[in-house]
Amino acid sequence: MAATCACTLTGCKPTEFNQVYAPTQSRSVDPSWIAAAKHCWPAIDHEGYSSSVIEHQLADPLHFRATFAAYAALPNASLLDLIAHPVSAAPALDAGLFANSHSPVLTRAQALNGAPTDSQMPAGGTTPPDPFCTLQTGMPVGFR
Protein backbone atom coordinates (compact mmCIF):
# COMPACT_ATOMS: atom_id res chain seq x y z
CA MET A 1 0.00 0.00 0.00
CA ALA A 2 2.78 2.42 0.92
CA ALA A 3 4.58 1.61 -2.35
CA THR A 4 1.39 2.30 -4.31
CA CYS A 5 0.94 5.66 -2.62
CA ALA A 6 4.60 6.56 -3.10
CA CYS A 7 4.43 5.68 -6.78
CA THR A 8 1.22 7.61 -7.22
CA LEU A 9 2.79 10.69 -5.67
CA THR A 10 6.22 10.38 -7.30
CA GLY A 11 5.19 9.17 -10.75
CA CYS A 12 6.74 5.69 -10.79
CA LYS A 13 6.49 3.81 -14.05
CA PRO A 14 5.89 0.07 -14.40
CA THR A 15 9.03 -1.91 -15.06
CA GLU A 16 9.81 -5.27 -16.53
CA PHE A 17 13.26 -6.83 -16.35
CA ASN A 18 14.39 -3.55 -14.77
CA GLN A 19 13.50 -1.68 -17.96
CA VAL A 20 11.00 1.15 -17.97
CA TYR A 21 8.17 0.82 -20.44
CA ALA A 22 8.22 3.45 -23.13
CA PRO A 23 6.01 6.40 -22.15
CA THR A 24 4.00 6.19 -25.38
CA GLN A 25 2.62 3.13 -27.12
CA SER A 26 1.69 2.81 -30.77
CA ARG A 27 -2.03 3.06 -31.41
CA SER A 28 -1.76 0.45 -34.12
CA VAL A 29 0.64 -2.25 -35.22
CA ASP A 30 0.59 -3.28 -38.85
CA PRO A 31 -0.07 -7.04 -39.10
CA SER A 32 3.07 -7.50 -41.20
CA TRP A 33 5.21 -6.74 -38.11
CA ILE A 34 3.42 -9.55 -36.26
CA ALA A 35 4.15 -11.99 -39.10
CA ALA A 36 7.79 -10.86 -39.23
CA ALA A 37 8.16 -11.30 -35.46
CA LYS A 38 6.84 -14.87 -35.72
CA HIS A 39 9.31 -15.74 -38.49
CA CYS A 40 12.33 -13.97 -37.01
CA TRP A 41 11.61 -15.44 -33.57
CA PRO A 42 10.01 -18.88 -34.17
CA ALA A 43 9.64 -19.47 -30.41
CA ILE A 44 6.96 -16.75 -30.31
CA ASP A 45 4.76 -18.85 -32.57
CA HIS A 46 5.86 -22.15 -31.01
CA GLU A 47 4.87 -20.90 -27.54
CA GLY A 48 1.40 -20.11 -28.89
CA TYR A 49 1.36 -16.33 -28.49
CA SER A 50 -1.76 -14.92 -30.10
CA SER A 51 -1.53 -12.13 -32.65
CA SER A 52 -3.15 -9.76 -30.14
CA VAL A 53 -0.48 -10.49 -27.50
CA ILE A 54 2.29 -10.01 -30.07
CA GLU A 55 0.64 -6.78 -31.21
CA HIS A 56 0.49 -5.54 -27.61
CA GLN A 57 4.20 -6.27 -27.12
CA LEU A 58 5.28 -4.67 -30.41
CA ALA A 59 3.23 -1.53 -29.69
CA ASP A 60 5.75 -0.68 -26.96
CA PRO A 61 8.95 0.74 -28.50
CA LEU A 62 11.03 -0.98 -25.81
CA HIS A 63 9.74 -4.41 -26.78
CA PHE A 64 9.82 -3.55 -30.48
CA ARG A 65 13.54 -2.76 -30.13
CA ALA A 66 14.13 -6.10 -28.41
CA THR A 67 12.32 -7.89 -31.24
CA PHE A 68 13.79 -5.95 -34.17
CA ALA A 69 17.18 -4.83 -32.89
CA ALA A 70 18.27 -3.49 -36.28
CA TYR A 71 15.83 -0.59 -35.76
CA ALA A 72 16.83 -0.01 -32.12
CA ALA A 73 18.69 3.24 -32.81
CA LEU A 74 15.52 4.99 -33.99
CA PRO A 75 13.89 7.37 -31.49
CA ASN A 76 10.50 6.42 -30.03
CA ALA A 77 8.58 8.81 -32.32
CA SER A 78 10.12 7.22 -35.41
CA LEU A 79 9.40 3.72 -34.12
CA LEU A 80 5.78 4.57 -33.39
CA ASP A 81 5.38 5.70 -37.00
CA LEU A 82 7.30 2.67 -38.31
CA ILE A 83 5.17 0.19 -36.35
CA ALA A 84 1.92 1.56 -37.76
CA HIS A 85 3.01 0.97 -41.37
CA PRO A 86 3.80 -2.27 -43.23
CA VAL A 87 7.23 -3.86 -42.98
CA SER A 88 7.59 -3.22 -46.71
CA ALA A 89 7.55 0.55 -45.97
CA ALA A 90 10.31 0.30 -43.35
CA PRO A 91 13.67 1.75 -44.33
CA ALA A 92 16.18 -0.67 -45.79
CA LEU A 93 18.79 -1.83 -43.33
CA ASP A 94 22.55 -1.59 -43.72
CA ALA A 95 23.81 -5.05 -44.67
CA GLY A 96 26.85 -4.40 -42.46
CA LEU A 97 24.63 -4.85 -39.40
CA PHE A 98 24.40 -8.55 -40.27
CA ALA A 99 27.96 -9.17 -41.52
CA ASN A 100 29.10 -11.10 -38.43
CA SER A 101 25.83 -12.82 -37.61
CA HIS A 102 26.06 -16.18 -35.89
CA SER A 103 22.50 -16.92 -37.02
CA PRO A 104 20.97 -17.15 -40.49
CA VAL A 105 19.92 -13.78 -41.91
CA LEU A 106 16.40 -13.49 -43.28
CA THR A 107 15.44 -11.12 -46.06
CA ARG A 108 12.36 -8.95 -45.68
CA ALA A 109 10.38 -11.38 -47.88
CA GLN A 110 11.48 -14.38 -45.79
CA ALA A 111 10.59 -12.57 -42.57
CA LEU A 112 7.11 -11.84 -43.91
CA ASN A 113 6.35 -15.14 -45.60
CA GLY A 114 8.47 -17.64 -43.73
CA ALA A 115 11.31 -19.44 -45.42
CA PRO A 116 12.31 -23.05 -45.71
CA THR A 117 15.46 -23.76 -43.72
CA ASP A 118 17.53 -24.40 -46.85
CA SER A 119 16.79 -20.92 -48.24
CA GLN A 120 18.22 -19.13 -45.22
CA MET A 121 21.72 -17.80 -45.37
CA PRO A 122 24.05 -19.97 -43.31
CA ALA A 123 25.62 -18.17 -40.38
CA GLY A 124 28.87 -16.49 -41.37
CA GLY A 125 27.93 -16.48 -45.07
CA THR A 126 27.32 -13.60 -47.44
CA THR A 127 24.58 -11.25 -46.35
CA PRO A 128 21.60 -11.52 -48.70
CA PRO A 129 20.14 -8.50 -50.46
CA ASP A 130 17.53 -6.69 -48.35
CA PRO A 131 18.54 -8.24 -44.99
CA PHE A 132 15.87 -7.76 -42.36
CA CYS A 133 16.54 -9.90 -39.28
CA THR A 134 18.48 -12.84 -37.98
CA LEU A 135 16.76 -16.05 -37.08
CA GLN A 136 16.59 -15.97 -33.29
CA THR A 137 16.27 -18.66 -30.68
CA GLY A 138 14.35 -18.04 -27.50
CA MET A 139 12.06 -15.09 -26.87
CA PRO A 140 12.62 -11.34 -27.19
CA VAL A 141 13.15 -9.54 -23.88
CA GLY A 142 9.78 -8.49 -22.49
CA PHE A 143 7.74 -11.36 -23.91
CA ARG A 144 6.51 -13.75 -21.24
What's the gap between Cα 85 and its chain centre?
Answer: 14
CA distances from 68 to 24, 63, 74 (A): 18, 9, 11
In a domain, 100, yes or no: yes
In a domain, 7, yes or no: no
d(C-alpha 140, C-alpha 144), whole Å: 9
**Contacts for 108 with CB less than 8 Å, ≥ 6 apart:** 87, 88, 90, 130, 132
Q: Residue 8: its pLDDT value, please? A: 35
Q: Where in the sequence is the domain holding 49, given as residue range(s)?
A: 26-134
Q: Residue 10: its pLDDT value, please? A: 37
In a domain, 139, yes or no: no
In a domain, 123, yes or no: yes
In a domain, 111, yes or no: yes
In a domain, 141, yes or no: no
Q: Residue 27: its pLDDT value, please? A: 78
pTM exceeds 0.75, yes or no: yes
Closest of 34, 36, 55 to residue 135, by C-alpha: 36
**Contacts for 82 with CB less than 8 Å, ≥ 6 apart:** 71, 74, 90
In a domain, 143, yes or no: no
Mean pLDDT per 10-residue segment, the chain (144 residues): 37 43 71 96 92 92 92 91 95 89 90 69 67 92 78
The number of distinct structural domains making up the chain is: 1
In a domain, 68, yes or no: yes
